[in-house]
Homo-oligomer: A and B are copies of this chain.
Amino acid sequence: MTSSLLNPMVAVHRVAASGPDDVAGLERLVETGTLDPSGIVAILGKTEGNGCVNDFSRGFATQSLKLFLHRHIGPDAAASVCLVMSGGTEGALSPHWIVFERKHVKEFGQGPALAMGSAITPPLAAEHLGRRAQVEMVAEGVRLAMDRARIADPAEVHFVQIKCPLLTAARVTEADGRGFATATRDTLKSMGLSRGASALGVAVALGELQMDAIAEVAIGADMGLWSGRASTSAGIEIMGHEILVLGMSGEWSGPLRIDHAVMTDAADIEPVRAALGRLGFDGPGQLGAEERARVRAVLAKAEASRTGTVRGMRHTMLDDSDISATRHARAFVAGVLAGTVGLTDLFVSGGAEHQGPDGGGPVAIIAERG
């Protein structure tokens, strides 16, 4: 199906989901020939659970997507597809899938295009989780995925999505048995540490931070260290890291481009407006219907600032014992983004340790050329 005479291109399909198990929209894409299941590299899902510990919408979605993939490409090929489920469609956010498909086209497009590359790291020893060893392993994996995406210049990378491991009681015990202490024995805390160390690995690979500048105690603690292009989530089902690099490359074709912004606080929309401008959206206010049709995906991280304030004014997200701060943050940042982009099926996810500055976060936009 592929040929060395053809150029690779990325197709991005954003598909509404009526529930965590609703793959009907994906089936329709396959039936109409819009999507070739054998080209699927990754599926991101914004599912409607609480995005916290007891969010079963993620597992339900994963199981449903796997059944979909099994039907079309069999279990073996399905196993290599990266599935990243992010729970939480607070506010007017709309549940959806984002499918990244690798296609091939004959003609070169005009200039560089959206490129992607993936990599899977070896399993991480439990005692390395949340420590410098994890940072280094991820940095190496990101470099490999960049190679595969044929992106040489780190400045051309705009988003790195990583699924990273977490600790379970069994894994902690196993490390104990080998004589090694893990960074934490708390499962929930291990998720934050793993997300944070993975994000720092991205920062190292992209030259945002030097490895030397990252002390072990700074992981999960010094929020002054961050990547503006990392988005990481922890999953119980893996022991290594699944890495998806998105960027621009002259060796890829097709109509899509990607750019990114870093919000410095929850209301900081100007960098996003600037990124939209670089992608050719240059109106003063919200994108109009035609412009919105050109947007393929908006990927963002959101988190309540640890300072308890936004622009000097107190927020109450961290003190609300009825609603998790991550849910508040997603709803609000979704509104900030929707006000400018005009869409509500935005991939806004939480848990932004070392992913953008405290209270802010990275935002990537994939859009068709104007």
Using a CB–CB cutoff of 8 Å, the interface residues on chain A facing chain B are 16, 18-21, 48-50, 52-57, 59-60, 63-64, 89-95, 266-267, 269-270, 273, 284-286, 304, 310-311, 313-317, 319-324, 327-329, 331-340, 342-345
Copy count, this protein chain: 4
Residue from the list B20, B315, B339 in contact with A340, Cβ < 8 A: B339
Q: Are A92 and B317 in contact (CB under 8 A)?
A: yes
- Give 11 CB contacts A-B under 8 Å: A18-B314, A20-B56, A21-B59, A48-B319, A60-B63, A91-B332, A95-B316, A273-B285, A311-B344, A335-B337, A336-B339
Give Cα distance in the complex from A313 to B273, angstroms.
23
CB of A55, distance to nearest CB on chain B (Å):
7
Q: Are A339 and B269 in contact (CB under 8 A)?
A: yes
Give Cα distance in the complex from A329 to B334, angstroms.
11
CB of A310, distance to nearest CB on chain B (Å):
5
Given contacts A60-B59, A285-B269, contact A92 B315 (CB under 8 A): yes
Q: A18-B314, A266-B344 are in contact. List 12 more A-B contacts (CB 8 A).
A: A21-B59, A89-B315, A89-B316, A90-B328, A90-B331, A92-B310, A266-B338, A315-B344, A321-B324, A328-B331, A335-B336, A337-B339
Determine the chain B residues whose CB is within 8 A of the CB of A273 once the complex forms: 285
User: Residue on B with the closest CB to A187?
Assistant: B319
Determine the chain B residues whose CB is within 8 A of the CB of A269 once the complex forms: 285-286, 339-340
Q: Are B94 and A310 in contact (CB under 8 A)?
A: yes
Given contacts A56-B57, A270-B285, A344-B310, contact A332 B338 (CB under 8 A): yes
User: Residue on B with the closest CB to A17?
Assistant: B314
CB of A65, distance to nearest CB on chain B (Å):
12
Give Cα distance in the complex from A304 to B91, angstroms.
8
Give Cα distance in the complex from A60 to B311, angstroms.
27
CB of A56, distance to nearest CB on chain B (Å):
5
CB of A340, distance to nearest CB on chain B (Å):
6
Which are the 5 A-B pairs with shortest beta-carbon distances? A335-B335, A91-B332, A52-B321, A331-B331, A284-B284
Determine the chain B residues whose CB is within 8 A of the CB of A48 once the complex forms: 54, 56, 316, 319-320
